[in-house]
Amino acid sequence: MEIIEQYWGLIIAVVGAIVYAATHRQASYSYVKKKLYELMLSAEKYAEELVLKTGKDKMDWVITNGYDNLPSYVRLVISKDLFQKLAQELFDKAILIAEKHKIEAN
């Protein structure tokens, strides 16, 4: 009990930092997903102007332009590898949705 009394300020600071990091990470995920959707749509819309011929070219453009333009506080929480994984997840989901609607349209 004496240790808790002696270090109560440090304990509060550590718990506060953990809570802050957990909530900030979730907000960063949401922000990144929104930006990825915007970039994916831009890559499709401007593919010809940007000389993006293949899906890999488009994905590389999204990763390069997206991660480097994220705010620094988001890059503290989201690594480039995680950003790339999130981009791939969103792309895969978009493909599944497009295929589903294509089947329903036929």
**Mean of the per-residue pLDDT values for the chain?**
82
Q: How many CA atoms lie within 13 A of 10 on its CB side?
A: 5
The domain containing residue 8 runs over which residues? 2-105
pLDDT tens readout for residues 50-74 = 888 888 888 888 888 889 888 888 8
Q: What is the 3-state secondary structure (H, E, C) of 3-47?
A: HHHHCHHHHHHHHHHHHHHHHHHHHHHHHHHHHHHHHHHHHHHCH
Domains held by the chain: number? 1
75 is written with which tokens?
């890059």
CA distance 66 to 76: 15
Task: Classify the C-alpha dihedral 21-23-29-35 as positive or negative.
Answer: negative
Per-residue confidence (pLDDT) for residue 74, from 0 to 100: 85
pLDDT over 90, % of the chain: 11
Residue range 27-31: mean pLDDT, rounded: 84
